[in-house]
């Protein structure tokens, strides 16, 4: 009887571990930036609000395969800005773009080469918006920026205690769950 209970307990533990692993796999986009870009991702902060830089930097040092740094060049991989044009209740969003042109681009082609991409395609750059007309407190702005930057790194929404869960506005940095998810997507 004791042996049966032990085996049953081990089966339950294994199921929990496997389901947690599968949950982590399921919360990442299959598309996004290429691994080559994610190891040296440049962002341009359009306003002087430091929380926008902190959002990107909060995701550094979690995986050796992911690093973001500020760039004064407008043509960085990620353009981070505040906006007041968010629909009611929407705190932020990202808009990823892909290129149909060959590199290097002629400056006159730059705009016409890009189209909006989805979460299964490879991205060339992303606009990240924090809608300050809806994210009105400093904490909600920090949460929104970190959450949206998680999307930049191919992290999807989930239902765990996570900065990637919608509605937990008190979190302003990635949790252990988020860190494990990032490592699952990009590696240690």
Q: Which helix (H) or strand (E) holds 157?
A: none
pLDDT for 23 equals: 37
pLDDT at 110 over 80: no
Model's pTM, two decimal places? 0.81
The alpha carbon dihedral of 145, 146, 150, 156 has a sign of negative
Residue-wise pLDDT for 14-69, tens only, equals 333 333 333 333 467 889 999 999 999 999 998 888 899 999 999 999 999 999 99
Domain ranges of the chain: 2-186
**What are the CA-CA distances from residue 113 to residues 36, 138, 155 (Å)?**
21, 36, 26
Tell me how far apart the alpha carbons of residues 93 and 25 are, in angstroms, rounded to a whole number.
22
Tell me how far apart the alpha carbons of residues 2 and 4 are, in angstroms, rounded to a whole number.
5
Residue-wise pLDDT for 150-187, tens only, equals 999 999 999 999 999 988 788 999 999 999 999 999 99
CATH number of 2-186: 3.40.390.10
């Amino acid at each position: 009887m004791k042996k049966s209970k032990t085996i049953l307990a081990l089966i339950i533990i294994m199921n929990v571990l496997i389901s947690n692993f599968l949950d982590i796999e399921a919360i990442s986009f299959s598309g996004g930036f290429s691994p080559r870009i994610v190891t040296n991702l440049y962002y341009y902060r359009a306003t002087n609000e430091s929380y926008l830089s902190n959002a990107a930097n909060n995701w550094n040092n979690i995986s050796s395969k992911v690093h973001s740094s500020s760039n004064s060049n407008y043509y960085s991989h990620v353009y981070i800005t505040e906006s007041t044009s968010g629909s009611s209740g929407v705190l932020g969003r990202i808009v990823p773009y892909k290129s149909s042109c060959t590199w290097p681009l002629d400056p006159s082609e730059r705009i016409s080469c890009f189209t909006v991409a989805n979460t299964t395609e490879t991205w060339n750059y992303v606009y990240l918006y924090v809608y300050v007309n809806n994210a009105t407190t400093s904490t909600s702005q920090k949460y929104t920026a970190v959450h949206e930057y998680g999307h930049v790194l191919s992290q999807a929404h989930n239902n765990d205690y996570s900065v990637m869960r919608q509605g937990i506005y008190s979190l302003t940095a990635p949790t252990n769950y988020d860190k494990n998810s990032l490592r699952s997507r990009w590696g240690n």
